[in-house]
Structure 1
Amino acid sequence: MYSIGVDLGGTKILTGLVDHVGVIYNTVERSTKAEDGPEAVIERIARSIEEVTETVSINEICGIGIGAPGPLDSLTGVVLSPPNLPGWDNIPLRQRIEERFGIPTFLENDANVAALAEHRFGAGRGVDDMVYITVSTGIGAGLILGGRLYGGAGGFAGEIGHIVVDANGRPCVCGNRGCLEAVASGTAIGRKAEQVFNRPVSAKEVAAMAATGNPEARAIFDEAIHYLGMGLVSIVNLFNPSKIVIGGGVSRIGDAMFHPLSRKVKERAFPAPAAMVDIVPAQLGPNSGLLGGAALPLTQQAGSKKAESVLKGEFV
């Protein structure tokens, strides 16, 4: 028995056929071409699903899961108006795909599906309480509490990037000031470095320069890690997770990022939850969206005997 995962991004659509243990059998990658509008993109998603399922029967598929940029309403399956999908204003994506294929379909934001993927197939396997954080252009998160994806009352929980860590800090794209995303994302690091060095500089380059002793780069990097660490302190005190899994482009900096973050949490969070948490890199890389999408039918199809059988491993 299989499920289908769709990772819808602003530049590409990655679709795959996945079994219950996370083995990917067929994949199709297409350009999103978001400028063509919702109808054209939905058709590309549908064609991708048709391609990855050419070798299996429809009866072997328990569901379709789609990870997409927010904001979206996962309860109704409607994409609201994401900045990198122009024209997607209240688009009922779940309904459109479900009607096309007659297969139960689920929709979640991209950070939540990445959290689900790492929990089921990656760095969060075996723990019931974990927080996934992506640190890249922005900062997003997905919460796994009690072994289940937690979305809050309306499905909007997990906006960790908009925790205010500096009340008088830099303006954020959300309209607030001093949000974690505004001071610790890859974009924030690059913007600060560009002001200092008068040229475009990536977060990875800032980290490399800091490692070689450049004092300006060291100050920029240390500031970002300080704020990110303080965000993690709040998460540890609030949720008491067993693991914090960090993905996204900035996480590829490696130990230079993870060691000081762990140290900050040990120093500033309550001692008991700080001692319980491991802060680790994500494992699934570019497949996290696809695998998280595929995991959605397996974990959210309440009451479905087929999905529960897959979860128990009765179908292979």
Structure 2
Amino acid sequence: MSSAAPPVLGLDIGGTKLAVAVLTEDGTTSAFTVEPTDKDRGPADVIDRLFAMGHRAVEQAGLGPIGAVGISCGGPLDASTGVLTGPLHLPGWVDIPIVRMAEQAFGVPAALENDATLGALAEHRYGAAVGARTMIYLTVSTGIGGGAVVEGRLHRGAAGNGGEFGHVLVRSGGRVCLCGRRGCLEAYASGSSIAVRAAEAVADRGAGSSLARIAEPRAEDVIAAAQAGDRLAGELWAETIDVLASALTDLVNVFEPEVVVLGGGVTRSGDALLLPIRARVARDAMPPAAAAARIELAGLGDEVCAVGAGAIALDLLDARSKETAHA
């Protein structure tokens, strides 16, 4: 791609937040902005606000017109047609032609990809996994998703939804997941699932817990209470670590990555998550995979999926530039 390539816009549609960023070719972000999704207001309202955020970001960045738009969202989605077919974290969003809508709104080409797949791309290109030939990325947020780069190439799967690591089975016959199965990792260790488990535990046996003084305990409340020595919160957090470590051990055995990158809101717990996960995977993964894999927190923080969205916009520009050159 030419050094004079225009900036691009990355849009991320999350279950709890919308994020936008203007990205230049070297991965530098400008005008990064976050707002609540307020998904109960419906897709039309959310998309209108997302595009308005994008227009404001382009103006605030002051880098001139953008050349393309990249869109990050959880699946299921169809990246080839640019349609959100029915994201699990966005009930009621069925067959939304988000790429066509973005192209109409911004007047430039657009591309769509699974959010966690883009998290993997962003961390591999600009973040904690730069230089790795094989890496996996797990985002532990409202839901749990994942992505992988295998031998230097982004793994997308046949329909663009590969890397659904949140739906690895960790408890056969266990809690019901949004996907309809029982016992998925997401049903135990996502931020929203930790909150639900906490509310159930408080109602069942938590009269003496500090969590009982919180009307609707969130994942961060559970983590803080566990670190303060609350017994019930400690049990909830220990189970969270257990299922995450179990799933990651399986993924390390399958992919044998050089780097495992953990991102998403739950990872703000830092060493409370990272240290026991590292120890468990090192203990349980098969050699030499266990010794080969470094487990790190995401280097791009809350910007990761917006950066990944910008990265596919840059790739789109690059591909179109090559098509023009060979025409």
TM-score range, shorter chain: 0.7 to 0.9
- The superposition leaves residues 167-221 of structure 1 with CA deviations (integer Å, 9 ceiling, x where unpaired) of 1322222221111112222333333333142534333333333334443333322
Relative to structure 1, the CA distance from residue 114 to residue 74 in structure 2 (aligned partners, 3 Å threshold; closer, same or farther) is same
Matched, 1:185 2:190: yes
2:305 equivalent in structure 1: 289
Aligned amino acid, residue 299 of structure 2 = Q
Q: How far apart are 1:29 and its partner, in Å?
A: 5.4
Q: Aligned match of 2:115 in 110, 119, 122? A: 110
Where 2:113 maps in the other structure, the secondary structure is strand
Where 1:191 maps in the other structure, the secondary structure is helix
Where 1:111 maps in the other structure, the secondary structure is helix
Q: Is the 8 A contact 1:30 1:44 kept in 2?
A: no
Query: Normalising by structure 1, what TM-score?
Result: 0.85
Matched, 1:122 2:127: yes
Distance 2:12 2:296 in 1: 23
Aligned amino acid, residue 207 of structure 1 = I
- The superposition leaves residues 217-248 of structure 1 with CA deviations (integer Å, 9 ceiling, x where unpaired) of 33322222111101001100111111111111
Relative to structure 1, the CA distance from residue 213 to residue 57 in structure 2 (aligned partners, 3 Å threshold; closer, same or farther) is closer
1:234 equivalent in structure 2: 250
Q: Figure out how many residues of one structure are paired with residues of the other and give that number.
A: 307
Q: How far apart are 1:271 and its partner, in Å?
A: 1.1
1:197 equivalent in structure 2: 206
Relative to structure 1, the CA distance from residue 250 to residue 39 in structure 2 (aligned partners, 3 Å threshold; closer, same or farther) is closer
Matched, 1:97 2:102: yes
Structure 1: tracts of 5 or more residues without a match: 310-316
Q: How far apart are 1:146 and its partner, in Å?
A: 2.4
2:265 equivalent in structure 1: 249
Mapping of 1:152-191 within 5 angstroms?
A: 152-191=157-196
2:70 equivalent in structure 1: 65
Aligned amino acid, residue 173 of structure 1 = L
Aligned amino acid, residue 220 of structure 2 = K
Q: Is the 8 A contact 1:77 1:107 kept in 2?
A: yes
**Aligned-pair Cα RMSD in Å:** 2.8
Q: How far apart are 1:257 and its partner, in Å?
A: 1.3
Distance 1:172 1:154 in 2: 22
Relative to structure 1, the CA distance from residue 52 to residue 216 in structure 2 (aligned partners, 3 Å threshold; closer, same or farther) is closer
Q: How far apart are 1:255 and its partner, in Å?
A: 1.2
Q: Aligned match of 1:76 in 76, 81, 85? A: 81
Query: Normalising by structure 2, what TM-score?
Result: 0.82
After superposing the two structures, state which structure 1 stretch, 15-24 or 229-238, moved more: 15-24
Where 2:187 maps in the other structure, the secondary structure is helix
Distance 1:207 1:153 in 2: 37
1:314 equivalent in structure 2: none
Q: How far apart are 1:154 and its partner, in Å?
A: 1.0
Structure 2: tracts of 5 or more residues without a match: none
1:312 equivalent in structure 2: none
1:313 equivalent in structure 2: none
